[in-house]
Structure 1
Amino acid sequence: MTTATVSASHSEARESWVPMIAIALGQMIMSFNVASLPVALSGMVKSFNVPPTTVATGIVAYSMLVAGFVMLGAKLVQRFGAARVFRLAVVVFCAGQVLMTFSPTATLMIMAQAVIGAAASVIVPALVALIAENYSGRQQATAVGALGSARALAGVLAFVVGGILGTFIGWRPAFGILIAVSAIVFLLSFRLKSTEGRPEVNIDMVGVLLAAAAIVLISFGFNNLNRWGLGVATGNAPFNLLGLSPAPIFIVVGIVLGQAFLMWTRRRQEAGKTPLLALDVIDSSKERAAVYALFVVVALEAALNFTVPLYIQIVQGQSPIATAVAMMPFNLTVFFTAMLVVRVYSTLTPQRIGIFGFILCTLGLLWLAFVVRNDWSAVPVLFGLVTFGIGQGALVTLLFNVLVTASPKELAGDVGSLRGTTQNLAAAVGTAVAGALAVGLLTTIMLGNIAAAPKLTPELQAQVDLDSINFISNDRLQTVLAGTTASPAQVTEAVRVNTESRLFALKIALLILAGLSMLAIIPASRLPNYLPGEIPDPSDGSGRKT
């Protein structure tokens, strides 16, 4: 398949932008929902009396359901029509938000996010298909860019609105707003062009089961690495295999099932049957490179979006609005970069933008690792967040555009499902890894610091549960120690160890994320290295004018 951007003739009729409002709002309600979860972290921890990693499970549940069933959603869109399926999915999304807003327990909160994720698995491919049906040429390219900007804008609004409401009222109203916005999207959806669908499209249920099982196992495995054990099974593991933790086993089996899905899909496609995912959308090394790069950058964003609120709200004990203020430069940078990066497409190749984007992400994370202190509002920290935001905003929009423009209109749904699978699996893995990495590092560092602190005697250690170390504020630690025989000097020493261990764990986690970002330069170097209006030269990979 040739990678080329969609161009329009001067005589092309311009369509109304009203349908795009419905499409953009459809993207925003999904992005607002998942971005609001980290902002509501401390409120949910307090309401449900659970550790922060349990709230992270809600994020993983949402992303896991989207990633697992978005390819099925794409086929439903093709078979029954994008507008009709989109409308129904918005109703289910709204019902999930009702459950989310009024959930009395963490279990129901996670179930609500699963319902919302199921609805989003249909909305994601429907959005791409709706853009293809309602716009063409330059308007289509603009609409694709607007979709990326809508995602970034929703992230900004989630931190602002969620921060203000979470501080002065509570975390629930932020999700209650989505009930009303979902109703608006439903009404606006009647302005979308409605196609009858293609009844001849068959749904590959074997492919659905293989893909869903692979993604669920991978997500579940990463999400429980810390609780079940990285290698040897802990006491929290539901079972063990010759003493081994089921978490890495789940990940390995999930990867094997993913390969089995690709093999099955290829055989089905060669037999002339309708595949769950048209492999034409990833039939070139450049398109596969775009998928790999998209996975990494979204995983890094998810990790940062979980780590920062965790530190501000749980470690520092500050309010949700403090999270909004600290993350505002990052979210605004992502928003404006996602809108403005399309202006350089005519002068910089995707390869150059991709490499430069990951260099910025790496530099931003490295800078954060070296300058972060116990105050996220410090100017040097904000500089690091802005640097990462420029790279992240440019990459997400660029990589989506590479995939969309590389495929014909009839494969728009498949591109949408591929994008949804990649982004949401990356978000689930990124969030899960961030939680497991931060807690795992904290446990190792804190146990070492406790052993090196003579004042924290074995007698005192025996009165505290050191088998389930997690991120807690110093106030919470002092409350726990008040129920022990700890002297004032021992309490002071314990607070010092807690403070230093948390900060060191965060720094090491940021350095590891920077290393992953640096490795992503490899797939970025395989992105298309030619401008719009050029085609690749098979002899040296450069572009030549058409």
Structure 2
Amino acid sequence: MHASSGTDDIDASIQDGTRAASWTPMIVIVLAQIMMIFNISTLQVSMDAIARSLGTAATTLGTAIVTYALVVAALILPGARVAQLIGSRRVFRASVGLFGIGMVVMAASFDVTLMIVAQVIAGMAAAMLVPTLVVLVADNYRGHQQAKALGWLGGAPAMGIVLAFLLAGTLTGWVGWRAMFGLLAALAIALLQFSNKLSAERKPMHVDIDWIGAALAGTAVVLISLGTSHLSSWGTLLARPDAPFSILDLSPAPLMVLIGVFLLQAFISWSRRRRELGQDSLVALEVVAGTSERAAMFSIFIVSALASAITFLIPLYIQVVQGRGSFETALSVIPFSVASFIAAVMVVRLKGRLSPAHIGRYSFLLVTLGLALLGATIRNDWSHSMVIFGMAVAGFGEGALVTLLFNVLVTASPRELAADVGSVRGITNNLATAVGTALAATLLISLLEGSVHYELVHTTELPDEVTAQVDLDSISFVSNARLERVLADTDAAPEHVAEAVRINTEARLLALKATFFALAGCALLAFFPAGALPGYVRDSTKRGASSVKDEHHHPTASSPA
């Protein structure tokens, strides 16, 4: 199998007029991608252990994840231009080194503030690294090898999540969560040593960085992310007591989202104006000029938001609801991650039978079905076969979409726009990660609060003097053990504690189920927009040879289904 693959690469290279390149640079590139994935995955799989160590709630870890994704999304566009300014290999070394520093700070964190600082550092590094990896693939490979390399880069996240959850879960249970971040710092050092294997073909070039555009895009991303992440605590419409300020009694959260969307539109308009004047823009809007490319961007946002919500909610469920450790959490996510990786590898073969539009629609239906199964069957017993099956179905749809959409964007643009494709995909993915995690947490806490308040109003088991001693304005997703510790400082009798635990148990499960159903609805809404993806079918037997559109020979040709 390996021999035939190598022969295919050589034959394709001969046809392209190039010589087959070594796969060593691709190993370095994929490891850099996996390094970034391990950071977030470790936070997800070890959230309960980290929360206990730092003396905070498990849901606080969602703030760290959102912070990382927010920084990446805000800085990724100027980061791509910096790569052009000083050279892709130099940026790779600088960003990997900075990421390593962030992991050292993370391993040494003794409170939430330092942990968030570490994620800010890592996010700054990733903002430069994400688009640079796409450029490095274009620099090191040509023709058939480049297409294969892009496929592996697109499938690396699914593969990395499987490894990250297993390794991070094992190390957290045996050694502690800090060991995993120490290993990531060591991996950064190793990548610096092997960075000389990367091609230095693309030399630094003069680039006029659009700082006004960078300010517009960065501010928009920050406002949208912060607004969505604080909808629950600051208020979805009217300002709550925790809101830092209010405008005519309105919550600042929805206003921030509104202003952020406005600034994003202003950034697009500003970029178009600069291009018309012959000036450099922060990103080449040509990469999303077509209907198919815009459909791919929308689909990337939806599937990335859903995936981040799933990988946030499941660890929270396993560790808080079931009270299990990091290793059990890692095992619980395997059905989703393995199915995602398998689909990411297999979806390329389907392109000879189905169009990207059909694959996209079917994949979103699979994600919808998987999320609906989770909402319908999730209980306090994780071994339930239908829950595992639901995870696998959702993962299979997600993995197919990730690789498909990445290939649609890359094959639609020329090689010189590789950095722009990488930055656009990166900002969409990371903004979606921030929004998906924030909205999942917000929806979960809102449903939990509503359920708890309803129970307290309609139950007669808890006396008013006990409920008065509990802060009902700051209800969070906590374990029964932690709730019992809180009630131990009140006047609650044993029977009152038991009733409060019952309310907490039922309310948590109801909130989780409703959240999964809401996510399923979001996946279903993407079904028809996915139909605008390219409608060609490679090597179709239903049409004449002259009517078949091949994405490699006609990269800009696409037709909506």
With normalisation by structure 1, the TM-score equals 0.96
SS of structure 1 residue aligned to 2:473: coil
Contact 1:80-1:196 at 8 Å conserved across structures: no
Superposed displacement of residue 540, structure 1: 11
Superposed displacement of residue 222, structure 1: 1.0
Letter in 1 for 2:279: K
Which of 123, 129, 148 is the equivalent residue of 2:129?
123
SS of structure 2 residue aligned to 1:464: coil
Flag structure 2 segments of 5+ consecutive residues without an equivalent. 1-11, 540-547
Superposed displacement of residue 370, structure 1: 0.4
Distance in 2, Cα, partners of 1:540 & 1:386: 31
Superposed displacement of residue 376, structure 1: 2.2
Letter in 1 for 2:376: F
Q: Which residue of 2 aligns with 1:510?
A: 516
Which of 540, 549, 559 is the equivalent residue of 1:535?
549
SS of structure 2 residue aligned to 1:273: coil
Distance in 1, Cα, partners of 2:383 & 2:117: 35
Moved more, 164-173 or 407-416: 164-173
Distance in 2, Cα, partners of 1:301 & 1:85: 29
Q: Which residue of 2 aligns with 1:356?
A: 362
Superposed displacement of residue 12, structure 1: 4.1
Q: Which residue of 2 aligns with 1:36?
A: 42
Contact 2:536-2:558 at 8 Å conserved across structures: no
Which of 455, 458, 463 is the equivalent residue of 1:449?
455
**Residues 1:221 and 2:235 are matched in the alignment:** no
Moved more, 27-36 or 411-420: 27-36
Q: Which residue of 1 aligns with 2:477?
A: 471
Distance in 1, Cα, partners of 2:327 & 2:510: 25
1:22-33 equivalence runs, <5 A = 22-33=28-39
Distance in 1, Cα, partners of 2:235 & 2:507: 21
Distance in 2, Cα, partners of 1:68 & 1:244: 26
Letter in 2 for 1:505: A
Distance in 1, Cα, partners of 2:162 & 2:289: 35
**Residues 1:192 and 2:206 are matched in the alignment:** no
Note the alpha carbon deviations across 1:454-507, whole angstroms, 9 max, x for none: 111212111211111111111112222222222222222211111111101101
Contact 1:211-1:257 at 8 Å conserved across structures: yes
Distance in 1, Cα, partners of 2:80 & 2:100: 20
Contact 1:67-1:422 at 8 Å conserved across structures: yes
Moved more, 435-444 or 142-151: 142-151
Distance in 2, Cα, partners of 1:539 & 1:85: 33
Distance in 2, Cα, partners of 1:54 & 1:184: 32
Distance in 2, Cα, partners of 1:145 & 1:515: 29
SS of structure 2 residue aligned to 1:525: helix
**Residues 1:20 and 2:26 are matched in the alignment:** yes
Q: 1:449 to 1:409 in 2, by over 3 A?
A: same
Q: Which has the higher contact order (CA 8 A, sep 6+)?
A: 1
Q: Which residue of 2 aligns with 1:412?
A: 418
**Residues 1:277 and 2:283 are matched in the alignment:** yes
Q: Which residue of 2 aligns with 1:3?
A: none
Contact 2:58-2:478 at 8 Å conserved across structures: no
1:422-433 equivalence runs, <5 A = 422-433=428-439
Superposed displacement of residue 35, structure 1: 1.3
Q: Which residue of 2 aligns with 1:250?
A: 256
**Residues 1:365 and 2:379 are matched in the alignment:** no
Q: 1:9 to 1:259 in 2, by over 3 A?
A: farther
Contact 2:66-2:434 at 8 Å conserved across structures: yes
Note the alpha carbon deviations across 1:225-269, whole angstroms, 9 max, x for none: 111111111111111111111111111110000000000000001
Q: Which residue of 2 aligns with 1:54?
A: 60
Distance in 1, Cα, partners of 2:371 & 2:31: 31
1:46-125 equivalence runs, <5 A = 46-125=52-131
Contact 2:239-2:252 at 8 Å conserved across structures: yes
Q: Which residue of 1 aligns with 2:5?
A: none
Superposed displacement of residue 200, structure 1: 2.6
Moved more, 337-346 or 419-428: 337-346
Question: How many positions carry a matched residue from both structures?
Answer: 537
Distance in 1, Cα, partners of 2:165 & 2:503: 31
Distance in 2, Cα, partners of 1:275 & 1:403: 19
Which of 144, 163, 166 is the equivalent residue of 1:157?
163
Letter in 2 for 1:175: F
Letter in 1 for 2:35: I
**Residues 1:327 and 2:333 are matched in the alignment:** yes
Q: 1:439 to 1:540 in 2, by over 3 A?
A: closer
Distance in 2, Cα, partners of 1:98 & 1:478: 35
**Residues 1:497 and 2:503 are matched in the alignment:** yes
Which of 290, 299, 302 is the equivalent residue of 1:296?
302
Note the alpha carbon deviations across 1:381-400, whole angstroms, 9 max, x for none: 00000000000000001001
Superposed displacement of residue 542, structure 1: 7.6
Task: Kindly report the root-mean-square deviation, in angstroms, between the aligned alpha carbons of the 2 structures.
Answer: 1.8
Contact 2:549-2:557 at 8 Å conserved across structures: no
Contact 2:87-2:205 at 8 Å conserved across structures: no
Superposed displacement of residue 34, structure 1: 1.2
Contact 2:68-2:122 at 8 Å conserved across structures: yes
Contact 2:13-2:19 at 8 Å conserved across structures: no
Superposed displacement of residue 8, structure 1: 6.3
Contact 2:532-2:560 at 8 Å conserved across structures: no
Superposed displacement of residue 196, structure 1: 4.9
Moved more, 316-325 or 361-370: 316-325
Superposed displacement of residue 195, structure 1: 3.2
Distance in 2, Cα, partners of 1:502 & 1:542: 43
Distance in 2, Cα, partners of 1:237 & 1:9: 63
Distance in 2, Cα, partners of 1:377 & 1:206: 53
Superposed displacement of residue 513, structure 1: 0.2
SS of structure 1 residue aligned to 2:176: coil
Letter in 1 for 2:407: N
Q: Which residue of 1 aligns with 2:244?
A: 238
Contact 1:149-1:336 at 8 Å conserved across structures: no
Contact 1:75-1:276 at 8 Å conserved across structures: yes
Distance in 1, Cα, partners of 2:150 & 2:163: 20
Letter in 2 for 1:95: I
Moved more, 534-543 or 103-112: 534-543
Letter in 2 for 1:535: K
Distance in 1, Cα, partners of 2:76 & 2:261: 18
Flag structure 1 segments of 5+ consecutive residues without an equivalent. 1-6
Distance in 1, Cα, partners of 2:395 & 2:188: 28
Superposed displacement of residue 532, structure 1: 3.8
Superposed displacement of residue 521, structure 1: 1.0
Q: Which residue of 1 aligns with 2:180?
A: 174
Superposed displacement of residue 541, structure 1: 4.2
Distance in 2, Cα, partners of 1:469 & 1:253: 29
Letter in 2 for 1:240: S
Superposed displacement of residue 344, structure 1: 1.6
Contact 1:77-1:197 at 8 Å conserved across structures: no
SS of structure 2 residue aligned to 1:535: coil
Contact 2:533-2:560 at 8 Å conserved across structures: no
